[in-house]
A and B are shown apart, each in its own frame.
Chain A
Amino acid sequence: MSVLTLTRGVTADNRPSGRARGPRESLLSRGAATLIMVVFTLYFLVPIWWLFISATKDRSDLLTTNPLWFADWSLFENIGALFSYNDGIYAKWILNSLGYAGLGAVLATVFSGMAGYALAKYQFRGRELFFNVVLGGVLVPATALALPLFLLFSQVNMTNTYWSVLLPSIVSPFGVYLTRIFAASSVPDELIEAGRLDGAGEVRTFFTISVKLMTPALVTVFLFQFVTIWNNFFLPLIMLRSQELFPLTYGLYAWNTQLNQIPELRTYVLVGSLVSIVPLIVAFLLLQRFWRNGLGAGSVK
């Protein structure tokens, strides 16, 4: 509707002059567009480049040499020192982060996939109520739950444990929402019926046939949940006291708060930050197909 009116407007006032102006305008705007994009490319990439360069320098070069170019190459010494500092606590943090985010996202995907599938494919009492309550859960931001979870876990003396960060991370209402919708459209009832006629149990049918058809949705749920847990800061901050339990983000935060007392931490914070984001950037590049499709899924008509 609005498009039609708008194009009519375009017809009325712009035709002759628009054509005459065409090539020059496009040359000018081509230059302007590229200039804008190049300037902002610098804005987005220079901080990461600076972090990389800083991580290759030893402590004396850090503030005295050109911040955006290499001095003496000591990246590997720095990484070695980072991993040996404080009995290798940094490696422990990496493992913790991978554990919280990896295990949490896998379990969240399995459980919400199963629930979403059941909601899509079976009729049972209270199904819509169940789904609506889950939908309400989708709207609760993760940070809003951190304090309530802390209050609850301290009631049962389970704060400052792996469980206190892992268990809340394996609930993904969004995952149930997405997999229900996806299963409804991508898993045909006939296929489940065929499985029944062959004598396969419901659970076996799900794990052997339906899961394959639901893969795109399950991958999306996994990726979102992984990033959410990896970036989560409030929950570990409020739950954990012992640094052996910290994820990477909390560990680096803790080091950063001690910069003034322990100056050698400066290098470790920088190198540690770099080491912690490189795998994520690589993973984003490799999984480009998935997140692009995930984001683009909204546009498929």
Chain B
Amino acid sequence: MTATELLVTKTARRSASSRRDTSRRGAGRRRPQHRGAIAFFTGPFAVLFALFYLLPIGYAVWQSLQVIERDGTYGAPRQVFGGLQQYVHVFENGEFWASVGRMLLFGVVQVPVMLGLALLFALLLDSPILKGRRFFRLAFFAPYAVPGVIAAIMWGFLYSPNLSPFTDVTRAIDFLSPQAVLWSIANVVTWVFVGYNMLIIYSALLAIPAEVYEAARIDGAGQIRIAWSIKIPMVAPALVLTTVFSIIGTLQLLAEPQVFRSFSSAVSSTFTPNMMIYATNSIPNLNLAAAFSVVLALATFILSFAVLRGSQRKAQS
């Protein structure tokens, strides 16, 4: 789920809440009649959801509790219940935690830069001092139509010394060196998603009623003052949402660094947690890969939950 989706649903729910009560009351009376229709409507989704959401998650958890045992060195492998053994392996695995740490470092820098730019552009689009808003809005949003894999291929070409057309730049700066490659990938992610986040913040800005500005305008407050004191506090909820979804996106990063493996030897097969899961699965060590998956999903939940809670506390104080 993305920030947009949440924004869309939040209002829909607000407008729906008045109606829902009446529908519930009315529905109570006709409970027994429509069993067939209800089954017809909910059946297909329920079956698919059970098969392709609940079952795989349950199966992955179960797999993560198994270990492979052999009778002697060359014996046939058997899968037996191993309790939390795989999780011990996960916590002892330095590479996995290195990849998590790498993504946290990535997120701490890239998410604020991306959202800062998105906020700046949204404020400029929303201010009366800018001409050509429609064009800028489209131009900034265009990269969002480029899938992550394609964006990474494009930038990979631009970065690599023997493929890039901008040889002067690539000769001066090695974008694909072990020190720089993380930030080169961050640039690709930023390039794709700034416009998308800009639009979310921009629609939050459009929702601010005009009366709010009137007093400030009468008092002669400049645009910067209005932006800082009125607009930014009022779009704070949209900023929190985009932050949470950017964090989730960061921890789940896979396509861009996987593509960059062709351009730079500095990107290992265990560069991000999801690449680690993919590599472990290819070994194949399915049980350990399943345990990585479970741990990563939990870590993502905890982190986004913490951001939401932290922002709520700040709003209250």
Interface residues of A (CB under 8 A from B): 2-3, 6-7, 9-11, 14-15, 18-19, 21-22, 25-26, 29-30, 33-34, 36-37, 40-41, 43-45, 47-48, 50-51, 54, 62-63, 67-68, 111-112, 114-115, 117-124, 130, 133-134, 137-141, 143-145, 147-152, 155, 167-168, 170-171, 173-174, 176-178, 181-182, 184-185, 189, 193, 201-203, 206, 217, 220, 224, 230-231, 233-234, 237-238, 249-250, 252-253, 256-257, 259-260, 266, 269-270, 273, 276-277, 280-281, 283-285, 288, 292, 294-301
Contact = CB atoms under 8 A, between A and B. Distances in A.
Contact of B20 (A184, A260, A281): A184
13 contacts: A6-B230, A21-B222, A22-B222, A29-B223, A44-B140, A44-B142, A138-B5, A144-B300, A145-B52, A168-B52, A238-B278, A284-B145, A298-B11
Given A37-B121, A273-B154, A171 B49 contact: yes
A34 B293 contact: no
A231 B124 contact: no
Contacts of B289: 147
A121 B42 CA distance: 12
B148 interface: yes
Interface stretch (B26-34, B87-95, B107-115): B26-34
A114 B42 contact: yes
Main secondary structure of the interface of A (DSSP, over half): helix
Contacts, number: 345
Interface of B: 1-2, 4-5, 7-13, 15-16, 18-20, 22-24, 26-28, 30-31, 34-38, 40-42, 44-46, 48-49, 51-57, 59-60, 63, 117, 120-121, 124, 127, 129-132, 136, 138-150, 153-158, 163, 165-166, 191, 194-195, 199-200, 203-204, 206-207, 209, 212, 215-216, 219-225, 229-230, 233-234, 238, 248, 252, 254-255, 258-259, 261-262, 274, 277-278, 281, 286, 289-290, 293, 296-297, 300-301
B103 to A, nearest CB: 13
Contacts of B27: 121-123, 189
A10 B216 contact: yes
A19 B217 CA distance: 10
Given A114-B42, A184-B20, A256-B153, A295 B199 contact: yes
Given A281-B142, A298-B204, A301-B209, 17 more contacts: A10-B220, A14-B222, A22-B222, A25-B222, A33-B129, A37-B130, A123-B27, A130-B42, A144-B297, A148-B290, A151-B290, A178-B9, A181-B9, A185-B19, A224-B4, A273-B154, A292-B199
Given A11-B219, A220-B8, A298-B8, A143 B254 contact: yes
A218 to B, nearest CB: 13
B53 A173 contact: yes
Contacts of B252: 141, 143-144
Given A297-B8, A299-B206, A152 B150 contact: no
A253 B121 contact: no
A234 B274 contact: yes
Nearest to B135: A41
B63 A63 contact: no
